């Protein structure tokens, strides 16, 4: 299984803070995003942000990062400081 966490406005838009999905062999973050985006229009819109931040196992990741069983993937919107 892969644990997927959503933070900040993503959590609000998707009405969930986490889900778990089976791990697929050679699945990368981009494939996971595409799979999640098929859930409905709200998921598609929320996850289509090109500036979406990604972390895998508490380390900043990119869409080509390969996932494996037991990984924790976190998605969060870009943040600004001030």
In this structure, what token pair is assigned to residue 38?
Answer: 């098929």
Closest by CA position to 52, among listed 33, 17, 78 = 78
Domains in the chain and their CATH numbers? 2-76 (3.10.20.30)
Q: What is the per-residue pLDDT across 49-71, written as a single tens digit (0 to 9) for each?
A: 888 999 999 999 999 999 999 99
Q: Are 73 and 36 in contact (CB under 8 A)?
A: no
How many C-beta atoms surround the C-beta of residue 64 within 10 A? 9
* Single pTM value for the model: 0.92
Residue 82: pLDDT band with limits 50, 70, 90: low
């Amino acid at each position: 299984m892969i644990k997927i966490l959503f933070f900040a406005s993503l959590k609000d838009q998707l009405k969930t803070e986490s889900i778990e999905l089976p791990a697929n062999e050679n699945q990368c973050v981009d494939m996971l995003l595409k799979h999640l985006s098929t859930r409905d229009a709200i998921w598609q819109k929320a996850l289509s942000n090109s500036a979406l931040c990604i972390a895998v196992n508490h380390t900043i990741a990119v869409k080509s990062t390969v996932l494996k069983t037991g990984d924790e993937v976190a998605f969060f919107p870009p943040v600004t400081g001030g």
